[in-house]
Chain A
Amino acid sequence: MTITDEPQAGNETPGYKWVGTRPIRPDGLDKVTGKARFGADLVLPNMIEGAFLRSPHAHARIVSIDTSAAETMPGVQAVITGADFPSPDDMAPGDAFQAMKIMARDKVLFEGHPVAAVAATSRAEAMAAAKAIVVEYEVLPHVGTVGEAMADDAPLLHDTLITSGIDPAPDTPSNIAARNLLERGDLDAGFAAADVIVERTFTNKPVHQGYIEPHAAVADASQNGRANLWCSSQGHFDMRSMTAKVLSCPPSMINVTPAEIGGGFGGKTTIYLEPVAILLSRKANRPVRMVMDRDEVFKATGPTSGAEVRVKMGVTNDGTITAADVWMALEAGAFPGSPMGPATMTALACYDIANFRVEGFDVVCNKPKVAAYRAPGAPISAWGVESVVDELASEIGMDPIELRLKNPAVEGVQAPYGPAFPRIGFVETLEAIRDSDHYRSPVAPGHGRGVACGFWFNIGGNSVATVNVHEDGNVSVITGSPDIGGSRSSMALFVAEELGIDVDRINPQIVDTDTIGHTDVTGGSRVTLSAGKVVVEASRKVKADLCRRAAKAWDCDIDEVEWVQGQAQHISGTESPLSLAAIAKNAGRTGGPISFTHAENVRGAGAGFTTQVVDVEVDEELGHTTIVRYTTAQDAGKAIHPSYVEGQMQGGVVQGIGWALNEEYIHRADGTLDNPSFLDYRIPVASDLPMIETIVVEVPNPAHPYGVRGVGEAGIVPPMAAIGNAIERSTGCRMADLPMSPVRMLEAINERNAAAD
């Protein structure tokens, strides 16, 4: 095993030998040689292929479905429709919506909504048969945006949907699924105390997570009512639970084996293919593989919400933010469940504001049901709030970092969503950017520089780890957390640090739902924190046991044994130390195999903050924006494998850059998607970008044994506003609608020029 000595030689953290180093990831070799098996790579004996028939309409009633022609097509082994699934009428409301998302029943609610599925001996045959299914639709008027969906006379998606979060509850259904309200202080008094008030409305279009690996699943339900499922997901236990609910079967009847996952960003925390593949497999009595095309991914899997956000904030001339009033409505897609909750809760979380009101609405419309996307909801509200904070700074002539440093969330400040913050590192990220080479360097002529901040809660949750010591003293660490960005390395580093052995002696494995206890999804920035915590605790159990075995061998009290640098030592120095390998070799004589498990619903997630600065250059004749330089500072608590911490920060920023400049769902007037391809859904390419400079801030999370905070998500929160702020400082154009594409940018510049004439 090589420990790289870039960017700094040796360990970056005094006191730790392994934590904070940059070893090569254990699964790396398989991933650079093509051996790693992702979702679509699995082949089972006698396996057949599945395909969907999907709705061509955004909203329509299904009058009839005729599958008879398809069933006699060459190679066809099974055809299913909504009628083959358990009725959603018997399910809890949330489960019923999930079931209807998986396969349409009476109505199709978005273009791409599955209507039927076919399994055949080849994918081409399955697709041909799906095309031969005859569906008669009665096209219904559709609603595309929150504005259309919230209108009094809007066509309804669900005629039983009553808005929650309003007391008394409304007595008529609407497209508004839920409302959330956060309030404190006296808003009127707050605005009255302000010297400057800025009020603007911001919008964004749905954007997709854009993982490179399309969804894929293989199901084998051909034995005894049990089903085996292989799929790439962010959490195979959740896949199992959700699939079992849709199929109305006990979860334990399904064993889910995680494939390697080719990106998720939240979008692979839910099901699309899994219950369908199992039903097809059951009907065909053969294993069935289902793999989405890219256009299916765009049309039928989770983007995050398009939204409208209205922000009004007031500030005094000396830089005290006195009041904030934020209103937002987020598209949920066809079924309730936009990230409106976290969007409202994060909106003002960076600041200590005495008087505020944040109101949010979760609104259904005829688009695919949104799925989680990196810090769900937070970028949507931050786009508005961080733009307005920048404008407040400009209006009172204050440096934008200085204004934020005058109103920051710090330990003890009551978060807008309720409880007081524990120790957090927001101020440290602001100071890191303020003191960075980037921020201290002059802004080049013709460029603009923008700053913005972001917050994400981070979460804990259920995790299990088993640590097994093999007879040669090498160690396996087994978890149920899919590795989406290098977490195997972090798990190995924790064990190496705890047991004091080389990291290359540790073999991290991620196993199926029958083999380890329930583990929540890889999401919410929880794996290094939560899986890390249980790995540390299981390792400590192993360590204590190793000391006990050494005491047994030495016939001494356990208090006379300490574990130092991978071996048991007698405190007197009278005994030759016993290495892990020596103890492991004799495990059978000292109590049997050395194997310990720790399971916990981990708490104490440390909130994550980031501050970012960007320099842009706008070609004012073309409206084209170039990212010239970008620096991000983020509080990681403690970076276990710094390369993957930097990688999370850089990846989050670049997704944000895409969201800021070019990414958007473009719909036709009939509600169908006009750009379901990577050609016209423009995620950033390498030549669009500079290097993304990272400053890893480490304010330890007091609730974690190694001080870890999550780092996966906060990075995507500020880029849209940071870039918008930089554009404003370069061009004088305050952008309010995402993306800030060349077309929108040139329109804004033309308006500016017209106003100047």
Chain B
Amino acid sequence: MVTVKFSATLKATTGTDEIEVDAPSVRRLVRLLDERWPGIGEQLTAGMAVAINGEIIPDAMFEELPDGAEVHFLPAIAGG
């Protein structure tokens, strides 16, 4: 199981701050979330990064999720 924490922007869609999901990878996680909240998958993939246990990963779609991981979706950062 992993814990997904939603930003306030995403909470408007999910209605909850966090949920526990059984997902072995980010890709699987996004698919499960999109099944539950249709359309959220696009929000979670377009220009978004994923933080897994505190480490921000820009292209995280195929990342494995260790059991017990804390996952955040956040806007991808570029820079100057």
Contacts and interface: CB of A to CB of B under 8 A. Distances in A.
A601 B77 contact: no
Interface stretch (A95-103, A370-378, A622-630): A370-378
Contacts of B33: none
Nearest to B56: A419
A298 interface: no
Contact of A266 (B58, B75, B80): B80
A208 to B, nearest CB: 12
B79 A372 contact: yes
A521 B5 CA distance: 30
Contact of B8 (A181, A264, A421, A523): A181
B9 A418 contact: no
Contact of B74 (A181, A209, A418, A420): A418
Given A417-B74, A422-B55, A182 B7 contact: yes
B18 to A, nearest CB: 11
A179 B9 contact: yes
A342 B79 CA distance: 9
Contacts of B11: 183
Among B11, B53, B54, chain A packs the most CB atoms within 10 A around the CB of: B54
A180 interface: yes
A526 B78 CA distance: 10
Nearest to A238: B78
A461 B60 CA distance: 12
A603 B74 contact: no
Contact of B77 (A166, A183, A342): A342
Interface in A175-221: 179-183, 209
B70 interface: yes
A4 to B, nearest CB: 29
Among B12, B58, B79, chain A packs the most CB atoms within 10 A around the CB of: B79
A603 B5 CA distance: 21
Contacts of B79: 266, 372, 375-376, 456-459, 523-526, 712-713
Contacts of A459: 58, 77-79
Interface string A692-712: 000000000001000000001
Given A345-B75, A418-B51, A419-B51, A461 B9 contact: no
A376 B9 contact: no
Mostly, the B contact residues are mixed
A315 B77 CA distance: 30
Contact of A461 (B5, B51, B58, B74): B58
A192 B79 CA distance: 37
Interface string A93-118: 00000000000000000000000000
B9 A372 contact: no
A508 interface: no
B7 A181 contact: yes
Nearest to B48: A341
B55 A603 contact: yes
B55 A341 contact: no
A604 interface: yes
A375 B80 contact: yes
B72 interface: yes
Interface size class, chain A:
35 or more
Interface string B47-80: 0000101111111000000000010111101111
B54 A419 contact: yes
A166 B56 contact: no
A601 B59 CA distance: 8
A460 interface: yes
A457 B80 contact: no
B54 A180 contact: no
Given A375-B80, A459-B58, A604-B55, A419 B72 contact: yes
Contacts of A524: 77-80
Contacts of A420: 54
B43 to A, nearest CB: 8
B56 A181 contact: no
Contacts of B16: none
B9 A180 contact: yes
A434 to B, nearest CB: 28
Given A179-B9, A180-B9, A183-B8, A419 B78 contact: no
B80 A374 contact: yes
Contacts of B73: 418
Contact of B12 (A166, A269, A461): A166
Contacts of B77: 341-342, 345, 457, 459, 524
B68 to A, nearest CB: 14
Contacts of A265: 80
A575 interface: no
A372 B78 contact: yes
Among B12, B59, B80, chain A packs the most CB atoms within 10 A around the CB of: B80
A165 interface: yes
Interface string A111-133: 00000000000000000000000
Interface string A398-440: 0000000000000000000111111000000000000000000
A418 B55 contact: no
A183 B9 CA distance: 9
A493 interface: no
A712 B54 contact: no
B17 to A, nearest CB: 9
A167 interface: yes
A388 interface: no
A181 B9 contact: yes
A277 interface: no
A264 B78 CA distance: 14
Contacts of A713: 79-80
A246 interface: no
Contacts of A382: none
B67 to A, nearest CB: 18
Contacts of A165: 9
A269 B78 contact: yes
Nearest to B77: A457
A373 B79 CA distance: 7
A270 to B, nearest CB: 10
Contacts of A179: 9
B7 A419 contact: no
A92 to B, nearest CB: 10
Contacts of B13: 167
A419 B70 contact: yes
Among A165, A419, A459, chain B packs the most CB atoms within 10 A around the CB of: A419
Given A376-B79, A418-B5, A521-B78, 16 more contacts: A165-B9, A180-B7, A180-B9, A181-B9, A182-B8, A183-B11, A341-B77, A345-B77, A372-B78, A372-B80, A421-B54, A422-B55, A458-B79, A526-B79, A703-B55, A713-B80
Interface of A: 165-167, 179-183, 209, 264-267, 269, 341-342, 345, 357, 372-376, 417-422, 456-461, 521, 523-526, 601, 603-605, 703, 712-713
10 contacts: A181-B7, A182-B8, A269-B78, A345-B75, A417-B7, A419-B55, A419-B74, A457-B77, A461-B58, A603-B56
Instruction: Please name the 7 residue pairs, one residue from A and one from B, whose CB atoms are nearest each other, closest first.
Output: A524-B79, A266-B80, A418-B72, A183-B8, A419-B51, A341-B75, A181-B8
